[in-house]
Structure 1
Amino acid sequence: MATIKEIADKAGVSITTVSRILNFDAALSVTDTTRARVLRIAEELDYTPRRKKAGRTSKKIAVLQWHSAAQELNDLYYLQIQNAIERSALMMGYSLNYVTITDFEKGVNKSFSGIIALGKYDHDEILNIADKGLPIVFVGQNSLVYGFDSITSDFVSPVQWIIDHFQEAGINDIGLLIGQEATSAGRHLIKDTRLKAFETFGQEAGVYDPARIFVGEFTPTSGYDLMNQAIAQLGDELPHAFIVGNDAMAVGVIRALREHNLAVPGRVSLISFNDVAVARYTTPKLSTVHAYTDLMGSGALHLLRKRIADPERVPQQLNFATKLILRKSSK
């Protein structure tokens, strides 16, 4: 794990600035460019690259981005995947062009070898992407139903692991703080797989209570607001443990608990998702579910290359396992 000083030196900013960025301090006045540079460096320094030579070709791949640049700074999961795609593209000799759904029509043409679509898209959007007639891999949603290759992470099994872990620690009042996503155009809301899993596994374990579920966005501000809402509504009945949708939300959750003098994990244990670099710099350090975004990024390139070589190949869906990492925010 890189130190804050190492990140600061490489980013050309102060240690204090790095610390406040890694803790999503909304009062910090820095540009999105600086914020993005610090977060990207934190991820890069935490990654041990495989030693491979870069390829010699220069075929173009269009990377369709679901989130805006500003949204990526709050939900770092897709930024991690994007970084991994960039590393793999360099090794394989591909150049990347980033496009959004709004500039997709004009930005992508037959000069591209293929498309990697990050995020979640509805039926009409997928048909529009497919109209380009290029090989496609979707990353972040299972697109087999539409006949396309896809890459996902297993976010279902960890919910069972977390419930089991909390119960083994003697905690049976467990809450969930989760985000509500929509497809790129915002026409369809998506029920998160972790919420579905919590309903199923929570009922089986006898810990499910809808009053302990709070739904917002996958951002630090939303985590902060949702925890304050939970504290206000539940009072002394506030659960002794929460599953949190992602690490960014958990940063806001910790801040809200600290303001209410509720100790983590003394009073409330937290386990979040993704294991972005930020999780190692919180106080206390976050227990979290590690998503193998490096494998997702490289897997997307490998699937796309196979699709380019054999357009008639049977579509595949690669669902990568995840890993529960216990640190200091949970008992």
Structure 2
Amino acid sequence: MTTIKDVAQHAGVSASTVSRILNYDQTLAVSEPTRRKVLEVAEKLQYKKRTKKVKQSGDKVAIIQWHSDKEELNDLYYYQIQYGIETKAQTSGVSIDTISFNNLQNIDLSGYTGIIAVGKYDASEIDQLAALKRPLVFIGQNYLLYGFDSVQSDFLTPINWMITHFLELGIQDIGLLAGQEKTQTEHQAIYDPRATTYRTRMTHEGLFNPDFLYAGTYGPDSGHSLMLQAIDQLQDQLPHAFIIGSDSMAIGALNALKECEITVPDRVSIVSFNDVAIAKYAYPALTTAHVHTEIMGERAFELLREQLKNPHKVPESVVISTQIIHRDSSL
């Protein structure tokens, strides 16, 4: 039987994108050719939605969203994590509800058997979630300090790989467009391991230049404005390579370079993170670190189930590896 993953593989997009297209999600930011291609592949492969019923376990899990709907549309990173949770829950007979953290105080969570909190939370927010007295797993950062299971992606290895790759090509001027986020309650700046790893590695190589480091939000508008800023400030000293915090930021940066008639990758090589569907269809197609977002969601659900079976389970911090996908935006 043809699965969503089969359709995704043949169409060259993520499984979560296929799911949203086949469910006619009008909020999905995807090009019409991509939408049409997915529908054509699904028809060719004779994909049919599964009708097999799974025995319901009686468990009910709340997914607490840290991000806004606007942020999800700008970058499908969080949506793909949620898709992994929902897929695993469906096969386990567990019902899922999604709740915004901002609306948490207005929701009665007494009927839920567990919580998966997706995003990045400060101490007061963690205390608020812990006060609910439910099995709890975080996705996004390491929360072992607070005694909770957590799942995160490995961003350190790809940063080092990217820098090594460029150095081997003889490129020593390497810039970074980093994402900058803040928690909602205390508005604390969120630690980004990519920026720290970049700074440490470039300093070790004797190549760190603070003028090559820019920070903004993870959306395309930010990537566009940051790259224009770099072009204006650095001019002929513009780095020959940039590492960019997300694919959506990279799309904006590519547009800025195109507007200024700076060729990619001949003059500037671009590498980014996440490998959302749009990365493959950008021009030029993005070299990016594929983050296994769906696996992150699946593993978080498994950790929650383990807590439900064993309330005295020892907390774990699970780090999921990434995979470099080399395309046309970099040498």
TM-score by length of 1: 0.86
Question: For 1:102 and 1:256, how far apart are their aligned partners in 2?
Answer: 34
In the alignment, does 2:201 pair up with 1:192? no
Q: Distance in 2 between matches of 1:52 and 1:189?
A: 45
**1 CA distance for matches of 2:53 and 2:22?**
25
Task: State the partner residue of 2:287.
Answer: 287
The change in CA–CA distance for 1:55 and 1:145 in structure 2 (over 3 A counts) is farther
**TM-score in terms of structure 2 length:** 0.86
The change in CA–CA distance for 1:52 and 1:294 in structure 2 (over 3 A counts) is farther
Q: What does residue 56 of structure 1 align with? A: 55
1:168 aligns with 2:168: yes
8 Å CA contact retained: 2:147, 2:315: yes
Q: Aligned to 1:182, what secondary structure does the other structure show?
A: coil
Spell out the pairing of 1:1-331 with structure 2 (5 A cutoff). Answer: 1-2=10-11, 10=21, 34-36=26-28, 38=30, 55-57=54-56, 58-331=58-331
AA matched with 2:151: I
Q: Which amino acid is 1:257 matched to?
A: L
SS at match of 1:35: coil
CA contact (8 A) 1:54 1:92 kept: no
In the TM superposition, residue 186 of structure 1 has moved relative to its aligned partner by 5.0
Partner of 2:175, secondary structure, is strand
Task: Specify whether residues 189 and 163 from structure 1 end up closer, same or farther in structure 2 by C-alpha distance, changes over 3 A only.
Answer: same
1:37–1:212 distance in 2 versus 1, CA, 3 Å: closer
**What CA distance in whole angstroms lies between the structure 1 residues aligned with 2:175 and 2:146?**
35
* Number of residue-to-residue matches in the alignment: 305
User: Letter of the aligned partner of 1:35 in structure 2?
Assistant: T
> In the TM superposition, what is the alpha-carbon distance from 1:308 to its structure 2 partner?
0.9
Residues in 2 aligned to 1:64 and 1:273: alpha-carbon distance in whole angstroms? 24
TM-superposed CA distance for 1:101, in Å, is 1.5
Q: Matched residues, percent identical? A: 44
What is the rounded CA distance, in whole Å, between the counterparts of 2:81 and 2:130 in structure 1? 22
The structure-2 alpha-carbon separation of the partners of 1:11 and 1:295, relative to structure 1 and needing over 3 Å to count, comes to closer
Contact 1:61 1:115 in 2 (8 A): yes
SS in 2 for 1:315: coil
**Which string of whole-angstrom CA distances, capped at 9 and with x for unpartnered residues, describes residues 26-49 of structure 1?**
xxxxxxx6232748x97xx69xx9
**1:231-261 deviation line (CA, Å, top 9, x unaligned):** 0000000000000000000000000000000
Distance 2:29 2:308 in 1: 33
Contact 1:272/1:287 (8 A) holds in 2: yes
Q: Secondary structure at the match of 1:81?
A: helix
* Per-residue CA distance 1:197-241 (angstroms, 9 max, x = gap): 001111112321110001111000000000000000000000000
1:20 aligned partner:
none
Equivalent position SS for 2:62: strand
In 2, the alpha carbon distance for the partners of 1:89 and 1:155 equals: 27
Residue identity in the other structure for 2:11: A
RMSD: 2.6
Unaligned segments of structure 1, at least 5 residues: 14-32
| Runs of 4+ residues over 6 Å off in structure 1 | 51-54
Q: Runs of 5+ in structure 2 lacking a partner? A: 1-9, 42-46
Distance (whole Å) between structure 1 residues aligned to residue 23 and residue 104 of structure 2: 34
Closer, same or farther: CA 140–173 of 1 in aligned 2, 3 Å? same
Q: Secondary structure at the match of 1:184?
A: coil
- Stretch deviating more after TM superposition (185-194 or 116-125): 185-194
Answer whether contact 1:120 1:184 (CA < 8 A) is retained: no
Q: Which residue of 1 aligns with 2:4?
A: none
Is the Cα–Cα contact under 8 Å of residues 124 and 185 in structure 2 kept in the other structure?
no
- 2:173–2:207 contact (8 Å) kept in structure 1: yes
Q: Which amino acid aligns with 1:149?
A: D
- Deviation, structure 1 residue 95: 1.2
Aligned to 2:7: none
